[in-house]
Amino acid sequence: MSDSQTASASDLPRAWPFEEARKLADHVATRSSTGADERPALLETGYGPSGLPHIGTFGEVARTSWVRQAYTALTGRPSRLLAFSDDMDALRKVPDNVPQREMLQKYIGQPLSRVPDPFGTHESFAAHNNARLCAFLDSFGFEYEFASSTQYYTSGRFDAALRRVLEVHDQILAVILPTLGPDRRATYSPVLPLHPRTGEVMQVKMDAIDAAAGTVRWTDPATGEVFETPVTGGHAKMQWKADWAMRWYALGVDYEMSGKDLIDSVRLSGRICKILGGTPPAGLTYELFLDEQGQKISKSKGNGLSVEEWLRYAPPESLGQFMFNQPQRAKRLYFDVIPKTADDYLTHVDKARALQAENPAGNDLRANPAWFIHKGSVPEDAGSPVPFGMLLNLASVANADTPEVLWGFIRRYDSAVSPQTHPMLAELVKHAIAYYADFVRPAKTFRAPTDKERAALVDLAETLRGFEGEAADASILQNLVFEIGKRHGFEPLRSWFACLYEVLLGQTEGPRFGGFVALYGVPETIALIDAALLRDTQV
């Protein structure tokens, strides 16, 4: 890559995918320096098809896609994204969420691509989950190429690399053995032959390695029978860390990100890749998600949040926003982060639209998450004139159980707004109804105002009566609320807004109150205050 094609740190947009794209560009430049390797940059993500795709799968593919997008913008060069399924791995345990669990028990130790599909829709369990992966990725519009480990092994795609593994077998052992306990060390080999009779993936010690013939000799511990197995043609596969390294080497992977829990695996696989004669890919180590209690999310524990659950309460763009935010920082992934994340996305859309108006070329947009989420061009119908948090509060005070209730307020606020003109708002309205029903309504707890708060609320209601019959301006109303808080000596002023939320809305957080009054209506807000004060006297 020439100097004119390499961006300095100061030239890059202030967004982490561009920092990663520079690392990828440097990696590609190193392997291309001789002019002998001008193939497109290869980015890879991995998938274990023993289970269905999950929110972590979305995060890794989305983040890798954004690095790819930044790389294209940075260099103008082609790239590929390979979604690689480790479907030749052995079935280690029967998942809890599948039918015919007793049937699957008989296939423990078999490659996933040879395990029957308990759902009865595909030729194997792996094929079923691979199809679900592709459908999952397709539903989000990701651009990728699917790759099957079984197909790559059996077609001979990895044969040359597997023969190379045998040539450096002892060097690989020297890297891995010190990391293992004594029992595992005694039987470890980077090569896992498939049993010629049972088809089981065998984790046994190799009695002999024949690099010239491309075979390994091993003994079946159950029968004592000795076998000589070619490592080529799908008759064997590689052990996890060595498999990762062999794949990097065989395919020339340029970039692959992974979670913090795989730091040691990345380091060891990188060493093995170098032993094979390859260069480990560039990559990002991302932090893991935490649950409601701040504990690491575990698929087996089920203490996380699924993609389906997120999409019940917010649009997919908001999930993209969550994944975009600070990938190297641990974040809670629970239901209560959804509203703020949805509004973060809407805020970035508004900023992007303002920048597009100022600069039609759009270069400044590259630091905006919406530029990535929308693949470089923010659509005209993205965004919403009403924040998601405001819709939730409107649903709360109106006890809304259908979208029509919220649309009644929205149309009165702005008659030009409709589900047809603002499809994102229409989607948010539906999500707000669902979120309110499941989380807000069950948690609503009203408290009585203090004497000081009561006086301020009476003042607010009386002042608002002067606005009845007028077009409500959100900024004027917000300033009015501020002035009343100051007039009644609330210090800090946020304690006044806490009063409004807790006494009037029955929750600890809320919207910009002036905007809420403008949307809900001045007479309705007065009635809300009067009802809260009356409720207090009846307690």
Residue numbers belonging to the annotated binding site = 299
* Contact in structure between 506 and 446 (CB atoms under 8 Å): yes
Residue in 74, 220, 178, 51 with CA at minimum distance from that of residue 125: 51
Q: Distance between CA 463 and CA 363 in Å, rounded?
A: 47
Helix axes 513-520, 522-538, angle to 10 degrees: 110
Buried-state track 286-303, b at ≥16 Cβ within 10 A, e below 16: beebbbeeeeebeeeeeb
* Contact in structure between 259 and 7 (CB atoms under 8 Å): no
* Ramachandran area for residue 53 (φ above 0: left; ψ -120 to 50: alpha; else beta): beta
Helix (H) or strand (E) holding 258: strand 258-259
The DSSP-derived string for 284-309 is -EEPPEE-TTSPBP-TTTT-S--HHH
- Return the residue matching tokens 């260099």: 75
Q: Distance between CA 161 and CA 248 in Å, rounded?
A: 10
Known binding-site residues for ATP equal 299
Within 200-243, strands assigned E span 206-210, 215-219, 226-230, 236-238
- Paired tokens of 529: 């205050």
Residue in 424, 42, 527 with CA at minimum distance from that of residue 250: 42
Residue in 7, 32, 34 with CA at minimum distance from that of residue 21: 7
Query: DSSP letter at 331?
Result: E
| Burial (CB count <10 Å: 0-12, 13-18, 19+), residue 304 | buried
Helix (H) or strand (E) holding 179: none
* Contact in structure between 161 and 246 (CB atoms under 8 Å): yes
Q: Distance between CA 532 and CA 177 in Å, rounded?
A: 70
Q: Distance between CA 373 and CA 382 in Å, rounded?
A: 11
